[in-house]
Amino acid sequence: MTERDLPHPTTGQLRLGDVLGALADPARLRLVELYADDAEHSCSEVPEELRGLHKSTVSHHQKTLRELGVVRVRIAGRNRYLMLRRGDLDERFPGLLDAVLANADEVARKT
């Protein structure tokens, strides 16, 4: 079984506007909450409240999070695993992720 990574921006390439834009969507924010435990998650793992979304929509959100540098995706055989890039985000934007996650419930209540 081969293992490979998809292309990701480097830590220095992360842009605040891109990261904030990625986190502004309630579905993507919920995914980031799921990934905040610093473990790898299967791309097929979807939070209960997002199960009403079409699989392609969830995949699009995951791709957006990867392309904007919020998560890292690793491919192992036919499986894809996501992990939050907490270290890179904290290095580039100290405290941002913690502040966003601390207020994520408030965002969810407004949508």
pLDDT, residue 3, reads 52
How far CA 72 is from CA of 16, 48, 51, 108, 109, in Å, comes to 17, 22, 22, 24, 28
Counting the structural domains of the chain, the total is 1
The series of mean pLDDT values per 10 residues for the chain, 111 residues long, is: 72 96 93 92 85 90 96 91 96 95 71 50
Q: Can you tell me the distance from the alpha carbon of 103 to that of 47, in angstroms, rounded to the nearest whole number?
A: 18
Instruction: Give the domain CATH number at 63.
Output: 1.10.10.10
Domain span at residue 91? 3-110
